[in-house]
Each structure stands twice: as structure tokens, then as C-alpha cells.
Structure 1
Amino acid sequence: MSWDVSLYKFTRRYRRIEEIPGDEQPQLLGSRSEVQTAVSEVFPGTNWNDPGWGIYDSEFGSIEFNLGKGESVRNLALHVRANTEIVGGILQLCERLCCQAIDLSDSSLLDQSEHPATGLEKWRKYRDQVVGESRG
């Protein structure tokens, strides 16, 4: 169980997901090594033992970065299990890659949200509820 976010580089910056036309084709985020470098600059210590799957662990929690299998990266999936402090790093990564992050829990664009951590907060509340119920 994780809070899932996908990073895409569009032909322009959108304010809302509804503005993205059906024929929009995401541009390349970069080569595998360029994306790995960007992730590692924002999230130092990310483990790239599997070149398509980076794992970042910190005192704030963890993120798994799924780059896919190709040498060119068109989108980056983030599986987040962390505190809200991690959201600032996700936004920095978007700036570094010139892309936008879509919160898959509510289809919002993180960089356009007044409260970009809202989806993560909701996920944490749900997770805590599920974990609490399963323990007793």
C-alpha cells in the first residue's frame, strides 16, 4: 500500500488535469541515467541496484521510483510511504525534470495545488485506520 504519484513532462504546464487534451503525448523526461541522476540529486542515497527501480529511505519514510525497462523514460512512477515532509522533495524533482506530478489518488497536479500533501495525508489516515483495525 502506497501513495502513488506519476511524473510527466507535457508540452506545456497545466493548472488542472481536466485541461490536458486527450491527444497530449508526454515528452521524454530523459534517459535512464539522466533521470536516475536527477532523483539522486534530490533524494541522495537512492539505491539503484535495479536500474529500473530506485529505492529511497530516510527518516521521513521511503519512495520507490519505477523508471520502467527502457533506456528512455517517458514517465516516472513514485510509490510513497512517508511523512508529508517528503512532498517538498517531489516538487523539487519536478522542477529539476521540468515536469508535473499527478496525484493518482485524486487526479490533481501537485505543483498547482494549494496543499500538495493533501493526498498523502489522506493516504496516511487510511493506512493508519487499516493498520489499527488489523491489530485488534
Structure 2
Amino acid sequence: MSWGIVLVKVPDEVRTLSELPKDYSPPPLGTLNDILEMLKELLPDVDFSNPSWGILGTEKGSIEFSIGDKDPVESIVLYIRGEVIDIICKLCKETSWQAFDSLTGYRMYFGKNGD
């Protein structure tokens, strides 16, 4: 069973995706090329042989990155299996992106250790 997470840039005060106006268009995360380079730098084992869909496998689980081919990239959907929350925490801290649970729409907050 997988778990979905959406990575976006939104104002800091936003706690749920439902707070955003219906016509809200988030600022881009970056160009497709910049996003791919950044993810490869932060997560060297990620496989982007298909630039719109990356896969990262770890001993604890896996993450699939659905980026699409839209340029610039406005959001990334992650499909999570296992215990990889520390990787998501790292991504958010290093990129200033925000993570939202795709089922509930609630923003994810991370402690010092990524929990």
C-alpha cells in the first residue's frame, strides 16, 4: 500500500490545501532540469531514467517521484512505501518546499530528527 504526498511552495501560514483559493496557482518549484539536478544531488541513488517519473529504493522503503513534463514544475507527487519520512524531511528542509498528505490535505511538519 502506498501513501501520497504532494510537494509544493505555498505561504507559510497555509496548514491545509483546502485553505488555498480554488484559482490558486503555486509558484514553481523550479525548472524541470533544475528539479532533476537538485533531486539527483540530494538523493544520488534516485533513478530518473524517465525524467517525469523517478524511483528511489532504500532498505526502509521506496519513493516514486511523479514530476510530469510540465516546465516549470509546480508540484511533485510522491508515492511512499515503507519508512522513508526522513528523506521527505530532508527534501523539504533543503528545498524550502512544503509537504502535504494527498489524502487529508494537511501539511506535514517535521521535528528535528524528521519525525
TM-score bracket, shorter-length normalisation? 0.7 to 0.9
- Rg comparison, structure with higher value: 1
Instruction: Say if 2:14 and 2:20, in contact at 8 Å, map to a contact too.
Output: no
SS in 2 for 1:33: helix
Runs (4+) of structure 1 moved beyond 6 Å? Answer: none
In terms of fraction of residues, the more helix-rich structure is 1
The TM-score, its normalising length taken from structure 2, stands at 0.83
Aligned pairs, number: 112
**Structure-2 residue corresponding to 1:77:** 77
Which consecutive residues of structure 2, in runs of 5 or more, have no partner in the other structure? Answer: none
- Alpha-carbon distance between aligned partners in 1 of 2:85 and 2:13, rounded to the nearest angstrom: 19
1:110-129 aligned within 5 A? 110-111=108-109
Q: State the shift of 1:15 in Å.
A: 4.9
* Identity in percent: 29
Instruction: Say if 1:6 and 1:75, in contact at 8 Å, map to a contact too.
Output: yes
**Structure-1 residue corresponding to 2:16:** 17
- Alpha-carbon distance between aligned partners in 1 of 2:90 and 2:13, rounded to the nearest angstrom: 17
1:1-136 aligned within 5 A? 1-10=1-10, 12-17=11-16, 20-22=19-21, 23-83=23-83, 86-111=84-109
Which consecutive residues of structure 1, in runs of 5 or more, have no partner in the other structure? Answer: 118-136
The TM-score, its normalising length taken from structure 1, stands at 0.72
Greater relative contact order: 1 or 2 (C-alpha under 8 angstroms, separation 6 or more)? 2
